Amino acid sequence: MLRRLIRNRRGSAAVEFAFIAPVAILFYYALVESSQGMLANRRAGHVATAVGDIVAQDGQITTADVEDLFLIANAIFRPLPTDSLSIRVTSIRIEANSQQTVVWSQAKGSMAGLSGTLTSVPAPWVVPGSGVVRVDTSYTYNSPLQKMMPEPIQMSHTMYIRPRGYVAVLRPN
């Protein structure tokens, strides 16, 4: 009877499943969490690119126009929540002596607008007598599952683009 019990394999599949199932579930949660985080990071970068491109297309833009761009940014971010999305749009003029002067800056969320002179524009973008549009995005990703990533992840992107046919993007008076 003992030999017959030792040779019996009827419950082996259930035991193997009990060992493998927790690992498979853990991998599944890790995949879902990392995919959602990568989607949020990609959307933050896409928002910076799209907003910068639209601002750079015209020589003048109003405060209301930029507010509309912030609404478009929220639409780009869907279905992810946008309550922690911050955006800053800045028009920068590069003077003849390579000094970087902020023409105007407008922000949404926790970011503050820039003013005065800057030293943060990368060297390839510093061309005397030209302008640059800078868009900064910041997003705090809170995982909906909170299993694999219990702490929020801060994502940020900065994008520079030259205005098309204009020295700098201005604000009408």
Is 173 a domain residue? Answer: no
Of all residues in the chain, the percent with pLDDT exceeding 70 is: 94
Query: What integer pLDDT is reported at residue 9 of this predicted model?
Result: 72
Q: Is residue 5 part of a domain?
A: no
The answer to whether position 130 is within a domain reads: yes
Digit-coded pLDDT (tens) for 28-57? 888 888 888 899 999 999 999 999 999 998
Contact (CB, 8 A) for 95 and 69: no
Q: What is the pTM of this model?
A: 0.79
In a domain, 108, yes or no: yes
Kindly state whether residue 68 falls inside one of the protein's structural domains: yes
For residue 73, name the pLDDT band (cuts at 50, 70, 90). Answer: very high
Q: What is the count of structural domains for the chain?
A: 1
Look up the domain containing 126 and give its range.
10-161
Question: For 93-143, how does the pLDDT look when each residue is reduced to its tens digit (9 = 90+)?
Answer: 998 888 899 999 999 988 888 888 887 889 888 889 889 999 999 999 887
